[in-house]
Amino acid sequence: MGTTTSNRRQPQRTCVVCREPRDKRELVRLVRTSEGRVQLDEQGRMPGRGAYLCHEGVCWEQALEGRALASSLRTALSADDLAALRIYAREANLIAVAAGGNAS
């Protein structure tokens, strides 16, 4: 008799902006690598200090503009890191293109 995955309790994590606890699979993990870069951890297995964001656009906007993400990861986000995260958020339709910005 095997157990089904639906019966297993999923690990809970908290979005660093809205502070809502959710199943780990419902969040996006960002990680600070040993080189000090901040990047997406789509598999959730990369080594390094991690932080989680939900799929709410307002959380992504606040994370990329405010200090919650940098504070949680205990690092400053470089311009390159912020640009890559903004591209991901736009492509995932989590945030809108900035007013006056060019969507091409």
> In terms of residue numbers, what domain contains 22?
12-91
**Do 78 and 37 meet the contact criterion of CB atoms below 8 Å apart?**
yes
Domains of the chain: total? 1
In a domain, 49, yes or no: yes
In a domain, 100, yes or no: no
In a domain, 99, yes or no: no
Strand spans (E) along 1-104: 12-14, 21-23, 28-32, 38-40, 49-53
pLDDT band at 103 (very low <50, low <70, confident <90, very high): very low
In a domain, 35, yes or no: yes
In a domain, 80, yes or no: yes
In a domain, 6, yes or no: no
Q: What's the predicted TM-score (pTM) here? A: 0.82
pLDDT per residue as tens digits for the range 27-80: 999 999 999 999 999 998 999 999 999 999 999 999 999 999 999 999 999 999
